[in-house]
Amino acid sequence: MTAPSTANHPAALLPTVPDPARPRPEQRGRRFATPNPSAVHHSFFDALRWMMSRKPGPWPDAVDVQPAVPDERVQGDALRVTWVGHTTVLVQVAGVNLLTDPIWSDRCSPLSWAGPKRVAPPGVRFEDLPPIDVVVLSHDHYDHLDAPTVRRIVEAHAACTFVAPVGVGRRLAAWGAAHVVEASWWDAVDVCGLRITCTPAQHFSGRTAFDRDTTLWATWMIEPAEGGAIWFGGDTGWFEGGFRAIGDAFDDVRLALIPIGAFEPRWFMSPVHIDPQQAVELARIVGARHVLATHHRTFPLADDGYDQPANELAACLDEASEADGWFRVVAHGEAWDVA
């Protein structure tokens, strides 16, 4: 499926080859669903119960960040990733500059004066970004799909192609994006010499009280011609069948970008956010040679404290005696040249 685009669209959506071993999203009327028994939807009363019983861990009001100034391009099979914050990562590989879930706004909210406020400024100033060729989006929640940032990218990087799950394209088009490709799970897109395959996730979508689950959510496998793939784990709860299908489908995952935060309290968050222990298991299942932690230390979204995801991840890795540096937590603005 393709969203509205210009005639000179640089990307091509490849036909999907049906495979019964690979889970596909369910559609119930106009709404999507993950085919997994644990993909439960909490009710309004569950949300109210959480809000009335919250015990959030400590977060600073602000943290100091030394923004990076990235090189314009990284050539060949070299891979450099720079953590901007949350799930925003600048991926530079094969001469292509790709952003995941870009958000440069101070708040992840429909309101500029209310909603979760970032405690860490972006690790790359917007004006210091190199030319952006591709933006990959996991879903349409405000902390992952930020309208002001999309509009800035459209203005400053007009040739950029946006790759998004089904249904998200209409929002991008409304904000001025001319080059948009939509995909469902297991669809592949060829763009800028990269093959980008839409892969499963367990989450939900919606930006108002009236459009819940009317757009799809996804993770993405990004494959350059050489050097191994990069898996963008977006935002997901535990979906073992989907994760194992990803691990079976791709045999050379050089780097995985995996979320570790916004997981407390588990009774409420577990259907939509993995915890650090699950993040380690997920990295093993997809067969990642290296892993970068995302979705933490930027916006206070749940009850885990600022350092809790990273601390629990370190404890999990120590207990499992994992190789030092395999699953890395980096600072905002830190660039990692991945072997």
Written as one letter, the residue type at 125 is: R
Question: Helix or strand or coil: residue 105?
Answer: coil
CA angle 234, 322, 330 (to 5 degrees): 45
The residues that bridge with 164 in the sheet, in sequence order, are: 182
CA angle 307, 230, 302 (to 5 degrees): 25
Q: Work out the average pLDDT over 136-160.
A: 98
Question: Helix or strand or coil: residue 136?
Answer: strand
Residue 238: exposure state from Cβ atoms within 10 A (0-12, 13-18, ≥19): buried
Written as one letter, the residue type at 18 is: P
Residue 198 lies in a domain: yes
Per DSSP (E only), the strands in the chain are 12-14, 26-28, 31-33, 79-85, 88-93, 96-100, 134-136, 161-165, 180-183, 188-191, 194-199, 219-223, 229-232, 253-259, 288-294, 327-328, 335-338
Instruction: Say what percent of the chain tops pLDDT 90.
Output: 88
Domain CATH number, residue 76: 3.60.15.10
What confidence tens digit (pLDDT) does each residue in 285-311 have?
Answer: 999 999 999 999 999 999 999 999 999
Residue 94 lies in a domain: yes
* Max Cα–Cα distance, the chain, nearest Å: 54
Q: Work out the average pLDDT over 90-101.
A: 98
Residue 72 lies in a domain: yes
Please give the Cα distance from 23 to 301 (Å, whole number): 29
Q: Is the pLDDT assigned to residue 6 strictly greater than 60?
A: no
Cα–Cα nearest to 329, from 232, 258, 275, 247:
258
What confidence tens digit (pLDDT) does each residue in 240-291 have?
Answer: 999 999 999 999 999 999 999 999 999 999 999 999 999 999 999 999 999 9
Please give the Cα distance from 134 to 128 (Å, whole number): 16
Residue 18 lies in a domain: no
Residue 111's domain comprises 60-338
Specify the number of domains making up the chain: 1
Residue 23 lies in a domain: no
Element (H, E) at 269: helix 266-269
Residue 1 lies in a domain: no
What's the mean pLDDT when you consider all of the chain? 94
Predicted pLDDT at 5: 36
The residues that bridge with 290 in the sheet, in sequence order, are: 255
Please give the Cα distance from 69 to 67 (Å, whole number): 7
In angstroms and rounded to an integer, the radius of gyration of the C-alpha atoms of the chain is 18
Predicted pLDDT at 16: 77
Helix, strand, coil proportions of the chain in percent (round to 5)?
Answer: 20, 25, 55
Q: How confident is the model at residue 22 (pLDDT cuts 50, 70, 90)?
A: very high
Question: Helix or strand or coil: residue 291?
Answer: strand
Q: Is the pLDDT assigned to residue 105 strictly greater than 90?
A: yes
Please give the Cα distance from 204 to 223 (Å, whole number): 26
Residue 236 lies in a domain: yes
Residue 4 lies in a domain: no
Please give the Cα distance from 304 to 215 (Å, whole number): 28
